[in-house]
Amino acid sequence: MAVIPFLGIDVEKLTLDDKAEILFLDQGLTTAVVLAVIFTVAKTFDPLPEDILRYDLRQPVNLQKGWLVWGGIGLVGAVGAIALTGVVLSVFRTEAPEREVDSLMKLLPLIGSSNISTLSLVGITGILAPLLEETVFRGFFMVSLTKWVPTPIAIIISSAAFALAHFTPGEFPQLFILGSVLGLSYAQTRNLITPMVIHGFWNSGVILLLTFLQIQGYDIKELLQAN
């Protein structure tokens, strides 16, 4: 969205649907460029092992490596672990913190505004963002770290980097837990589809839940600031 003024587009005249579509295109272009850079760099190390930067939809229900099986396990584990983290943090907090202006808060005007906005946001958060972030943090960064440190340490470091990259210090514990689950699921299956499924359902689930609450008449901004 930062390049819009340079393109001669008046942001004030854009409808919410226009903004949602532009966000989708912006995320799509960003994802394509970053992936192109990563795969270009990876090409210099050919031949790569078969399980590096692997997106494999085959055998989804294989008990050892199935992306659907371990995606489901990871999603349930992430929800439980993050909920428990939230409870523990709330016990030690003396006062409710003010919610930081994160990417979700910035998207609030678009949530539930129309079907086009909802589809655009689900496409961004449920498909494009997981594809980009899992390729960067698990497929590239975490795998690169395993050349120098054991896999558990690589998961911890990459999870911390994942959490820090969201620029919301107050949500670091929850994002670190999510990153750890994503790292563990990738380490188990060596297939980027697995953490992408977990990440995608987590992100789009939040958007769809907030959309539902908005339609039911709840003030979702007030709800988010209360958490």
In a domain, 158, yes or no: yes
CB 137 within 8 A of CB 158: yes
The whole-angstrom separation of Cα 12 and Cα 17 is: 13
In a domain, 46, yes or no: no
In this predicted structure, which of 48-57, 91-100, 183-192 has the lowest mean pLDDT?
A: 91-100
What three-state secondary structure class fits 22? Answer: helix
Q: pTM value? A: 0.90
In a domain, 32, yes or no: no
The whole-angstrom separation of Cα 99 and Cα 60 is: 38
CB 210 within 8 A of CB 112: yes
Encoded amino acid at 6, one letter: F
Structure confidence by residue, pLDDT tens digits, 201-210: 999 999 999 8
Structure confidence by residue, pLDDT tens digits, 69-100: 999 999 999 999 999 998 888 887 766 555 55
Among 33, 51, 35, CA closest to 143 = 51
- Work out the average pLDDT over 182-192: 97
In a domain, 90, yes or no: yes
Q: What domain range includes position 112?
A: 62-226
- Work out the average pLDDT over 116-123: 93
- Kindly state the tokens that stand for 197: 């499924």
In a domain, 167, yes or no: yes
In a domain, 27, yes or no: no
CB 177 within 8 A of CB 85: yes
CB 42 within 8 A of CB 53: yes
Total structural domains within the chain: 1
Work out the angle between the directed axes of helices 193-215 and 115-123 (0-180°, nearest 10): 160
| pLDDT of 227 | 59
Express as a percent the part of the chain with pLDDT over 90.
Answer: 59
Structure confidence by residue, pLDDT tens digits, 8-43: 566 667 888 888 999 999 999 999 999 999 999 888
In a domain, 140, yes or no: yes
Please name the residues in contact with 35: beta carbons below 8 A apart, sequence gap of 6 or more.
131, 132, 135
| pLDDT of 223 | 67
The whole-angstrom separation of Cα 109 and Cα 135 is: 29
The whole-angstrom separation of Cα 152 and Cα 189 is: 15
Rounded to a whole number of angstroms, the distance between the first and last alpha carbons of the chain is: 28
In a domain, 40, yes or no: no
Which is more confidently placed, 162 or 212?
Answer: 162
The whole-chain average pLDDT of the chain stands at 87
